Structure 1
Amino acid sequence: MPHTNQDTATRDDRIARGRTARAAVPRSHHAEFPPPGRRPDPLALLARQDADRVPELVPIRYGRMAASPLAYFRGAALPAAADLATTPRTGLVVQACGDAHLTNFGLFASPERRLVFDLVDFDETLPAPWEWDVKRLAASVEVAARENAHPPAQRRRGVLAAVESYRQAMHDFAGRTALEVFHAHADADALRAIAAHRLGSSGRRRFDRTLARARARNDVDALHRFTEIRDGRLRLSARPPLVVPVSRLAGDGDPGTLEERLGDVLSRYRRTLAPERRAVLDHYRLADVARKVVGVGSVGTRCWLALLVGPGAEDPLFLQLKEAGPSVLQEFTGAAVRCEAGRRVVTGQRLMQAVGDVFLGWVRTTGFDGRVRDFYVRRLCDGKGVAEVTTMTANVLRAYARLCGWTLARAHARTGDPLAIAAYLGSGPGFAEAVREFAVACADQNERDHTALRSAIRRGHIAVASGP
Structure 2
Amino acid sequence: MTGSVAARIATGLAARKVVPLAGHADLPADRDRPDPVEVLTGQDGTRLPELVPIRYGRMLASPFAFFRGAAAVMAGDLATTPYSGLTCQLSGDAHVSNFGVFASPERRLVFDLNDFDETLPGPWEWDVKRLAASIAVAGRENGLGRKARAAAVRTAVGRYRSAMIGFAGQGDLEVWYAHAGVDEVEILLKARADKAKQRRFAHEQAKARARDSLQAYRKLTSVVDGCRRITADPPLLVPVGHLVPDADREDLEFMIQDLLAGYTATLSADRRHLMNGFRFVDMARKVVGVGSVGTRCWIVLLYGRDENDPLLLQVKEASRSVLADHVPDGVRANHRSEGERVVAGQRLMQAAGDIFLGWETAEGIDGLTRDFHVRQLRDWKGSASIETMDAAGLRLYGALCGWTLARAHARTGDRIAMAAYLDDGRTFDDALVEFAESYADRNEQDYRLVTRAARDGRIKVRSGL
* TM superposition score normalised by structure 2: 0.97
Q: Deviations over 1:170-228 (max 9, x none)?
A: 01100000000000001110011111111121221121122122111111110111101
Deviation at 1:367, TM superposition (A): 3.4
2:219 to 219, 225, 230: 225
Report if the CA contact (8 A) 1:308-1:317 is conserved.
yes
Which residue of structure 1 lines up, in the alignment, with residue 458 of structure 2? 461
Per-residue deviation, 1:328: 0.7
| Structure 1: unaligned runs, 5 residues or longer | 1-5
Cα pair 1:248 1:255 within 8 Å, conserved? no
- Equivalent position amino acid for 2:372 in 1: F
* Secondary structure, counterpart of 1:51 in structure 2: helix
* 2:363 partner amino acid: T
Q: 1:155-166 residue pairs with structure 2 within 5 A?
A: 155-166=149-160
Aligned residue in 2 for 1:131: 125
2:28 maps to 1:34: yes
Aligned to 2:280: 286
SS of structure 2 residue aligned to 1:330: coil
Q: 1:115 maps to what in 2?
A: 109
2:259 corresponds in structure 1 to: 265
The equivalent residue for 1:185 is 179
Q: Which string of whole-angstrom CA distances, capped at 9 and with x for unpartnered residues, describes residues 325-374 of structure 1?
A: 11111110144443200000000000000001110000011233211200
**Which residue does 1:49 correspond to in 2?**
43
Give the match's secondary structure for 1:387: coil
Q: Secondary structure at the match of 2:290?
A: coil
How much has 1:256 moved relative to structure 2?
Answer: 4.4
Match of residue 436 from structure 2: 439
Maintained 8 Å contact 1:196/1:203: no
CA distance in 2, matches of 1:99, 1:254: 37
Give the letter for the 2:162 counterpart: Q
Match of 1:142 in 2: 136
Q: In the alignment, does 2:390 pair up with 1:396?
A: no
2-structure distance, mates of 1:285, 1:312: 10
Matched position secondary structure for 1:332: coil
* Aligned-partner Cα distance in 1 for 2:159–2:345: 23
The alignment of Structure 1 onto Structure 2 pairs a total of residues equal to 461
Deviations 1:233-258 (A, max 9, x none): 1110100000001000149x944421
1:206 paired to 2:203: no
Residue identity matched to 1:262: I
Q: Are the counterparts in 1 of residues 121 and 333 from structure 2 also a CA contact under 8 Å? A: no
Residue number in structure 2 paired with 1:312: 306
- What percentage of residue pairs aligned between the two structures are identical? 54
**Does residue 66 of structure 2 align to residue 72 of structure 1?**
yes
**Cα offset for 1:427?**
3.7
Question: d(CA) in 2 for partners of 1:134 and 1:88?
Answer: 13
Listed one character per residue, the Cα deviations across residues 114-161 of structure 1 (whole Å, up to 9, x for unaligned) are: 000000000000000000000000000000010100111111100001
Separation (CA, whole Å) in 2 of partners of 1:245 and 1:268: 22
Asked whether the equivalents of residues 235 and 288 of structure 1 are also in contact (C-alpha less than 8 Å), the reply is yes
CA distance in 2 between counterparts of 1:203 and 1:401 reads: 15
C-alpha separation in 2, matches of 1:60 and 1:250: 21
**1:188 and 1:116 mapped to 2: Cα distance?**
5
Q: Deviations over 1:25-80 (max 9, x none)?
A: 00011001112101111110111110000010000000000000000000001001
CA displacement at 1:458 relative to structure 2 = 1.3
Q: Hey, what's the Cα distance between the residues in 2 that align with 1:263 and 1:467?
A: 34
Query: What CA distance in whole angstroms lies between the structure 2 residues aligned with 1:94 and 1:232?
Result: 52
| Contact map agreement 1:15 1:420 (CA 8 A) in 2 | yes
- Note if contact 1:74-1:296 (Cα within 8 Å) is conserved in structure 2: yes
Residues in 1 aligned to 2:279 and 2:146: alpha-carbon distance in whole angstroms: 54
Counterpart of 1:376? 373
Judge conservation of contact 2:255–2:362 (CA < 8 Å) in 1: no
- Asked if the contact 2:36–2:450 (Cα under 8 Å) also holds between the matched residues in 1, the reply is no
Is structure 2 residue 53 aligned with structure 1 residue 59?
Answer: yes
**Structure 2 residue ranges without an equivalent (≥5):** none
- The answer for the alignment partner of 1:348 in structure 2 is 345
Under a length normalisation based on structure 1, what TM-score does the superposition of the two structures give? 0.97
Q: Pick closer, same or farther for the CA change 1:250–1:57 going to 2, 3 Å.
A: farther
- The CA distance in 2 between the partners of 1:233 and 1:257, in whole Å, is 21
Following superposition, the deviation at residue 452 of structure 1 comes to: 1.1
